[in-house]
Structure 1
Amino acid sequence: MTGGRNGPPPADGARDHRLDPARSACVLIGVGDYTDLPPLKSVSHNLDALERALADEAVWGVPEDHRWVVRNPRTQWQMIKPIQEAAEKAEDTLLVYYAGHGLLDSGDDALHLTLTVSQPGEPTLALSYEELRRTLGDVRSSVRRRVVILDCCYSGQVLDRMSAREAVSGRITRIDGSYIMTSTAGNRRAMAPRGSKYTAFTGEFLKALTESDARFEREKWLTLDQIYQVVRESLLAKGLPEPQQQSRNGVGDLPFVRNPLRQRSGLAEPPPYWTGRKRLLASAVLLVVAATSAAGGVWWPPGQEPPTSGPCGTEDVSLLSTSDDLDEAPLHGEQIEGLSALALDGTSGDALALPDDDPGRIYRLSLGPAAGLEPRARRVQGLYREDGTRYSHGFDGEGLVLEKGGKTVLVSTEGSPAIRRFDLKTGRELGRVPLPELFRLPPAGQAQRSRNVESLTATDDGRHLFVGLEAPLAGDDDKHGRAGLRIQRYEGTPGGSYRPDHQYAYETEEGMYLSELVALDGEHLLALERGGLVGLGNSIHVYRVDLSDADDVAGGGVGEGSADAYTEKELLFDLAACPPGRVKSKRPQPNDIVENVEGMAVGPPPKGEEHRGRRLLYLVSDDNGQHDRRTRLYALSVRLP
């Protein structure tokens, strides 16, 4: 039954009987590494964070010798044995958590919990939930309650099955009570969003355990039903699958974990004099703190307009202006969309913008003053092969360099990984810069389809050219959400030939991708990292990168050997820390100024004495051709090395 309880209501005083952590045990099982199924990198983080939370006395406080963490089991016995051992120690509550892929039996739609060796269509290589249920019902122990939490596809299947079978067998419910919470309905897949530290359901479950929720301000304890309520509403608000639950004999109504809001606010045991106006003041302060946290550290009093420009969380970076004027702007019968790269024309003062959709083309833009952007599209130039045919399908342009002299451009493309040179006046392809073999798609190379040569930049003198991968090559480091990428530097002349001269290893932050590079000189870059989650918005970080002491990794793997093979980097700014300005995003974002930024270009010094020693930095966002995203242009003043 979804969202409710079965069985009689708890007896008087039942809410005073807490799920006692000292007399309970928990088994946390997670499968993220598979031989045949897609990996789930976030599952390992699920286990680490959930164990910390359940062990914390400020949350639940289950003892160390009453906790089992099972990582990547290969056999059914490796799952079942810890549950049996935990049941022998538990007297009050046995909690079992599973995260991984869930598969349905093609014969009867029974749910199977996967092992590392599991394969679709092979139920013997997984643990059926029926077997887990039987284990929980058969263990010989004095445990009074069972709590099962399933974070896998189709996990809601177990609710329908249990209600019928337990009515006959009495298993599990023959004890004082049981509780099941699942990440999805029986016909829905669970979500592990790309770039997220946790799976969608477990991430919200952890928040409910450890973070404040004002609706339960006066509760000393939180129950499983209250936690489910918070998790359900949060997931639905983000458009994610709806979790399910089933409670027997009032277990969902029993005090489970300490309320983090009362822990932090001191409301659990308020001093006698904290009454009336003083308590009201304390609540007001708490609400201000909560509002500040929710807005990513930016809070403005009612009636006061937020600034449209100013520092971005550091003295080295200031936002000058933003503009959405290019968003779906018409030009010669089409709408501008999908802008993925930006290049400045120092001669004309214009900018070139490269979209990543079809057909291949380049826009020429006028930007207006940096302190008050007024971008306009002036013309569009189609891109053609050397034989004169149009690049009409699968071009996927990502990086753009206007070569010195302003007559030719270099474009990096992901559809078929390449660096192509075009005549800017005619749009005709003139040749290519050779890519390392590993940067090509299999079987010739090891690059990922649609996540390969993303960024392209050149030094002002054109002597050095850099191309950066968006995602790791097959076999390169990709651990705990941090990607080990490659940046290839070339040496040559603008409009002429380039040869590879050094390859660097670059590590992204957790859940981020390398989206753009800007060359400051032959050994220093700016790197733009981008990430995004449905319902949470985008993360846009810009880093200073120092290549001077980095190893050449052209002949080996990235991630092998010592960590000092990676380039050094330092955060320059987080876009979410900039003032929100007058722009408004259509999707939830950590700050309304944030959009899906993919392009970046450094310009001349901005005007004004206050910007002495700084350069202009322009950013452009990619709306991916979607009406609920925006094409947005940013101008910032940045102090560079």
Structure 2
Amino acid sequence: MSVLPDPGASRAVLIGTSRYRHLEQLPAVSNNLRALAGLLTSPVSLHLPAQNVRVVESPAAGQSAVGAVRQAAAEATDTLIVYFAGHGSVDADALSLALPDTEYGRIETSLPYDWLRQVLLLDSRAERHVVILDCCCSGLAPGRMSASPGLADQAAVEGSFLLAAAAETRTALAPVGDTCTAFTGALLDTLHHGIPGGPALLDLAALYQHLRRTLEARGHPVPQARDRNSGARLALGRNHAALPASPAVLAFGTVTGERPWPDPRSVRTVTGSFTALADVRVISGLTHRAVGERSAGRSGCQCLLVSWQACR
């Protein structure tokens, strides 16, 4: 079953390099970071608290990016999202992420992807991990995860999903004149507008399939993915193509169809409780006051559980 993470117990680290001294400039990456941070903190997507989303733009050294991921990995107990946008390259058969001073052929000037992966393996408290790579050759990351049984075992992170913008030998696309890169732009558009006829929750499996179809139809590089232990069931938002334009107040006991209700068992924080209660209001069509009345004056997770039962 697809599930939305508790925003209070989740973290996101968005890393990107838009300015380079030796490589082609990628101004769209800066737009990617701002747009994705705004989306993740909005009700359109996960409604993460602003302090739970850290943006690391054009880090001078790999330690800055790795340090941000390590801190988020120590804080998140539900879901950790790590995103990178910029140039990517293959150095010694491994994916490297370009930094402002990166020079092709000089591996010491790049950020090895394996450094980020090791933080998730060794330092993360989160139950679920999402890695999104919008860079050239990013498909090498899931490829390395399945290169051999020993390597796959070493790279496995429980409940993880890795989404890469391009296959191993393809370049990611940043069309001239577009606000965002092709891959991230398509991801943002899908989360904003939804998938017509798609599931009620936009889990990573549905997003990946939709992005493949959309980008392939446009003649853009086709994304790659790797799922570990049902990580694909994690949702990054509700399908807004399946929601009414405005909630209509429903009579008590009205059936709302196939729309999934928030699961009280997935709520771990006060922030998660408020977010789930807001979902109850949207799905049921009831006002906050009506939801509160049906909760019989209870608060916190008890309120959510009683409201969930009463509104259904």
TM-score using structure 2 length: 0.76
- In the alignment, is the contact (CA less than 8 A) between 1:31 and 1:71 conserved in 2? yes
Q: 1:213 aligns with which of 175, 187, 195?
A: 195
Say whether residues 1:271 and 2:271 are aligned partners. Answer: no
1:260 partner amino acid: H
Residue 199 of structure 1: how far off its partner (Å): 0.5
Distance 1:165 1:96 in 2: 24
From 34, 41, 46, the equivalent of 2:27 is 41
Counterpart among 207, 217, 231 of residue 227 in structure 1? 207
Give the drift of 1:152: 0.4
Q: 1:159 to 1:208 in 2, by over 3 A?
A: same
Residue 131 of structure 1 deviates from its aligned partner by: 1.8
Distance 1:254 1:76, change over 3 A: closer
Unmatched tracts of structure 1, length 5 or more: 1-13, 280-641
Amino acid at match of 2:140: Q
1:34–1:168 CA distance, 2 compared to 1 (3 A): closer
Return the alpha-carbon distance in structure 2 between the equivalents of residues 18 and 76 of structure 1.
31
1:18 deviates by 2.6
Change (3 A) 1:57 1:163: same
Q: Using CA pairs under 8 Å that are at least 6 residues apart, name the structure with larger relative contact order, 1 or 2.
A: 2
Partner of 2:202, secondary structure, is strand
Matches within 5 A, 1:199-210: 199-210=181-192
Residue in structure 2 matching 1:145, options 114, 120, 128: 128
Q: Which residue does 1:191 correspond to in 2?
A: 173
Q: Which has the larger radius of gyration?
A: 1
Does the CA contact (< 8 Å) of 2:77 and 2:127 recur in 1? yes
Who is 2:93 aligned against? 109
Instruction: Quickly say closer, same or farther: Cα 1:166–1:150, change in 2 above 3 A.
Output: farther
Q: Percent identity?
A: 36
- The residue correspondences of 1:321-336 to structure 2 (distance < 5 A) are none
| 3-state SS of 1:260 partner | coil
| 1:625 aligned partner | none
| Aligned residue number for residue 156 of structure 1 | 139
Higher fraction of helix: 2
CA deviation map 1:400-425 (0-9, x unaligned): xxxxxxxxxxxxxxxxxxxxxxxxxx
Q: Distance in 1 between matches of 2:222 and 2:113?
A: 20
Relative to structure 1, is the Cα distance of residues 36 and 250 closer, same or farther in structure 2, using a 3 angstrom cutoff? Answer: same
- Aligned alpha-carbon RMSD (Å): 2.2
Answer whether contact 2:21 2:100 (CA < 8 A) is retained: yes
- Superposed displacement of residue 119, structure 1: 0.4
Structure 1 match to 2:231: 251
Shift of 1:212: 3.1
The match for 1:242 among 217, 222, 245 is 222
| Equivalent position amino acid for 1:271 in 2 | L
- 1:220-619 matched pairs, under 5 angstroms: 220-266=200-246, 271=250
Deviation at 1:266, TM superposition (A): 4.4
Q: Which residue number in structure 2 is paired with residue 76 of structure 1? A: 62
Alignment-derived partner of residue 270 in structure 2? none
Tell me by how many angstroms 1:263 deviates.
Answer: 4.2
**Equivalent residue for 1:95, pick from 71, 77, 81:** 81
CA distance in 2, matches of 1:21, 1:92: 8
Asked if the contact 1:172–1:178 (Cα under 8 Å) also holds between the matched residues in 2, the reply is no
1:103 to partner: Cα distance: 1.1
SS at structure 1 position matched to 2:125: coil
Give distance in 2, aligned partners of 1:168 and 1:104.
17
User: 2-side partners of 1:121 and 1:138: how far apart?
Assistant: 29
More strand by share: 1
| 1:300-351 Cα shifts (integer Å, max 9, x gaps) | xxxxxxxxxxxxxxxxxxxxxxxxxxxxxxxxxxxxxxxxxxxxxxxxxxxx
Distance in 2 (CA, whole Å) between partners of 1:86 and 1:166 is: 29
User: What is the match of residue 38 of structure 2?
Assistant: 52
- Note if contact 2:144-2:151 (Cα within 8 Å) is conserved in structure 1: no
Question: How does the TM-score come out when normalised to structure 1?
Answer: 0.38
- State the Cα deviation string for residues 352-384 of structure 1 (Å, max 9, x = none): xxxxxxxxxxxxxxxxxxxxxxxxxxxxxxxxx
Contact kept, 8 Å, 2:97 with 2:110, in 1: the verdict is: yes
